[in-house]
Amino acid sequence: DSGVTQTPKHLITATGQRVTLRCSPRSGDLSVYWYQQSLDQGLQFLIHYYNGEERAKGNILERFSAQQFPDLHSELNLSSLELGDSALYFCASSSAPYTEAFFGQGTRLTVV
């Protein structure tokens, strides 16, 4: 158990809908990251928050947004969903930006 908790574990939704994925980082970790993993793309970095502030952005679509709350938990919002958004979405956390990141078990999103 990495100490990073993600909910829900599975999500099935229709095209055009909006979903919210939730992440609770390890106790004391200030950095939270979101990654997307699909079969053909591997693990792709989406966004990094540090102590409530956005610090880095990857190839995150404009339809996707994230935030980190004062209690350090984070949410990833995906809107206007398309079939191609079906993937595993992982949250990770680390004590500082350059230290090792610990991953949650992921949310498997299926868009139908």
* Site mask for another protein (CB under 8 A), range 22-61, x = bound: ---------x-x-x------xx-x--x-x----xxxx---
Are 109 and 50 in contact, with CB atoms under 8 Å apart?
no
For residue 99, count CB atoms less than 10 angstroms from its CB and return exposed for 0-12, middle for 13-18, buried for 19 or more.
exposed
Q: Is 87 in the site for another protein (CB under 8 A)?
A: no
User: Site for another protein (CB under 8 A): which residue of 15, 17, 99, 110?
Assistant: 99
Nearest residue (CB) to another protein, 31 versus 74 = 31
Could you tell me the sign of the dihedral formed by the alpha carbons of 49, 7, 17, 38, in that order? positive
DSSP state of 84: G
Other residues' Cβ atoms within 10 Å of the Cβ of residue 107:
21
Minimal distance, residue 37 CB to another protein, in Å: 9
Which residue ranges make up the site for another protein (CB under 8 A)?
Answer: 2, 4, 31, 33, 35, 42-43, 45, 48, 50, 55-58, 88, 90, 92, 94, 97-106, 108
